[in-house]
Chain A
Amino acid sequence: MEVKNRTISLIVKNRPDVLARIAGTFSGRGFNIENISANVTMDPSVTKITIVTTGDSATVLKIEKQLRKLVDIITVNFIPPETSVQREMILIRIKIPDNSSRSELLKLAAQNHCRVIGEGEATVTLECTGASEEIDRALSFFKVYTIEDMSRSGIVAL
């Protein structure tokens, strides 16, 4: 069976140890977490957690069944890529040696739908939101520069 990335969306009770329980279920049973994000929802008593995991379809079913057993988990849903929107965000601070590279970089940023959110003496900070592949592509362009620091979020999905 094909091993690939799969996105799981959980609605969980907003309790202090719920994240530890979910993480423990993955680590204790040998499943992977590729990335994870936890967000508030319209209802303050519940949290939405989006997890990207890897595995074949049988493994992913096992993960789903184990997660459903956790008392604080209200719903478990797989988000099929075809019928959903999935987005990630990166913040990236890039070093620029001179002004000509600055304008080159700003052009690249615009082409990749990145927003400029900060400009320093020798750095430019960009924000980029998109599907994982778009972020990967943008990153591949920026690789020629020196990346001073970067922060990439987990996936949020609808």
Chain B
Amino acid sequence: MKMRGAKILLKVLEEEGVDTIFGYPGGAVLDIYDELYRTPGIRHIRTHHEQGAAHAADGYARASGKVGVCLVTSGPGATNTVTGIATAYMDSVPMVILTGQVPTKFIGTDAFQESDITGITRPCTKHNTLVRRIEDLAPTVREAFAIARSGRPGPVLIDLPKDVMQAETEYMAPEKPGSFHDAPAAPVDEEALQQAFRLLRESKRPIIIVGGGIVMGKASEELKSLVETISIPVASTLMGLGAFPGTHPLWLGMLGMHGTYYANMAVSNCDLLMTLGARFSDRVTGKIASFAPHAKSIQIDIDAASINKVVDIDVPVVGDCKTFLSRLIELCREAALTVRPEDRTEWLNDIAQWRKKTPLNYTKNGRIKPQEVIETLQRLTDGKAIICTEVGQNQMWTAQFYRFTEPQTFLTSGGLGTMGYGFPAAIGAQVACPDKTVVDIAGDGSIQMNIQELATAVGNNLPVKIIILNNGCLGMVHQWQEIFYGKRYSHTEIGDSSPDFVKLAEAYGAVGLRASRPEEIEPVLRKALETPRTVIAEFIIDPSESVFPMVSPGGALTDMRLENIIAHD
């Protein structure tokens, strides 16, 4: 049957299981929007900025595990998505971005609202394509989904000239539906597996670092099973939080620049470091020469390019972490290998000492402490909410003090560190998981970067909770100025220039709440969580509170500033 391009596009999206699109209309995509009007199977959420649409599609993808889809017009619509695409690229999020383009015969003429979006996004997409001929449309879209979700996931952009959307061609059903992305995970090299097993068996002071790859690879169950079989302590990167229960006795928390004292000490003193789906960010390693100096290392990653990129690895394994862990568990079973905590007392005692001496804590002083807000939120939601963050101190306090218990419940911009990510991502997550509590933990700076999306949340009855930790400044940058720039607070004070967030919420038709004293934390949080509407809950926090521990950039992980942490000797 002959069909127009716009119709073929939507048909292929439906074949790929797409039921939700985040987007913003414009001239170059009018044909697609016209077709959407007649396609009841696809829900379209119109945001109020294309950056919001891109982050919402990203949040949808991270929370659901499906490919997020975003649709925008040519020119400014397309360029507005670039930060969202780069954010998803750095954190390996599967997304398909559909951009309108001027008609093919105008391409290259500086036509109205023309931009070379495939050129612009080439370095921040996993792949991108300009569809020049209608015959290429369906195969290109199918390929885009396959690429986005296979191997190391990532965003794929398809640029769609208006005339291609209007042209007609014979619609062809896919040859083998779903064949590409359902391809079984590549086998793990048996030799490397045996080597890893041998090292694990011989090690006296092992540690596992988990990263975003465990979340993407849905390997939490296998991880827990291995950890409990051989009693290995687990630390996580920012992106791995949620992959392992934050309440487990073998849990060490996050490592790295703002990691826990005991996670950083354990990594620095281990004799074996097994890294699963993490890419050794500079925020994680600190000074490379001092990183895990006494350890043999095993790294498993689905992307060969992540291995031996910054840290030299003794046993590199290219493959899927779920498959790897399953095989490792089998090997333990075959060899009847179990290690109980009491068989590892020396190592676990060392860790217990570090934990006891320098726990994660903070000093109360009669003002609201952000850590207390997050601890209370943790208690009231039983660690089961979907938590999004903005970027800065709010993000680090969340990583430290919310004990995540389930994968895919922590949505944060780790690699790019995009302020303005959290709120639209929360909208996407709430659309994906309508029955879950979804919270964005924000700073008073970041929240204003995509505040316009309040209209999207309210307009779609999405009961997202925004918690603003208001410290009157761009806190994380302020903290660096305090420590490294002689307290010269150049342009980081926000002071009174913020709007009244309660009134702002009300102006948008959301609910606004505020707490200024510690005893108000719990009632305000309860009220926010019980209200089935979009809520802004503002907490006026102690502006002098900083994030510790802190490793200076390029410093060794053992070299931590602990300032406000109460240490016990």
Contacts and interface: CB of A to CB of B under 8 A. Distances in A.
Interface string A10-35: 00000001001100100010000000
B304 A65 contact: yes
B305 A20 contact: no
A68 interface: yes
A58 interface: yes
A17 B125 CA distance: 14
Interface stretch (B116-124, B245-253, B420-428, B542-550): B116-124
A58 B308 CA distance: 9
B375 interface: no
B309 interface: yes
Contact of B147 (A24, A28, A65, A71): A71
B308 A61 contact: yes
B303 interface: yes
Task: Give the secondary structure class of A's interface.
Answer: helix
A28 B89 CA distance: 14
A20 B127 contact: no
A62 interface: yes
A77 interface: no
Interface in B256-303: 303
Interface residues of A, number: 13
Given A69-B303, A71-B147, A62 B309 contact: yes
A69 B305 contact: yes
B319 to A, nearest CB: 14
Contacts of A17: 118-119, 122, 130
Contact of B304 (A21, A24, A68, A71): A68
Contacts of A62: 305, 308-309
Nearest to B303: A69
A101 interface: no
Contacts of B123: 24, 28
A75 interface: no
Q: B123, B126, B305: which has the most chain A beta carbons within 10 Å?
A: B305
A132 B4 CA distance: 54
Interface in B201-248: none
B155 to A, nearest CB: 13
Contacts of A24: 122-123
Interface string A50-94: 000000001001100110110100000000000000000000000
Contacts of B309: 62
A75 to B, nearest CB: 15
A20 B119 contact: yes
Contacts of A28: 123
B116 to A, nearest CB: 10
Nearest to A28: B123
Interface in B96-155: 118-119, 122-123, 126-127, 130, 147
A124 to B, nearest CB: 42
B305 to A, nearest CB: 4
B232 to A, nearest CB: 28
A20 B303 contact: no
A62 B311 CA distance: 12
A65 B122 contact: no
13 contacts: A17-B118, A17-B122, A17-B130, A20-B119, A20-B122, A24-B123, A28-B123, A58-B308, A61-B308, A65-B304, A66-B305, A68-B304, A68-B305
Interface of A: 17, 20-21, 24, 28, 58, 61-62, 65-66, 68-69, 71
Given A24-B123, A28-B123, A58-B308, 9 more contacts: A17-B118, A17-B119, A20-B119, A24-B122, A65-B305, A66-B305, A68-B304, A68-B305, A71-B127
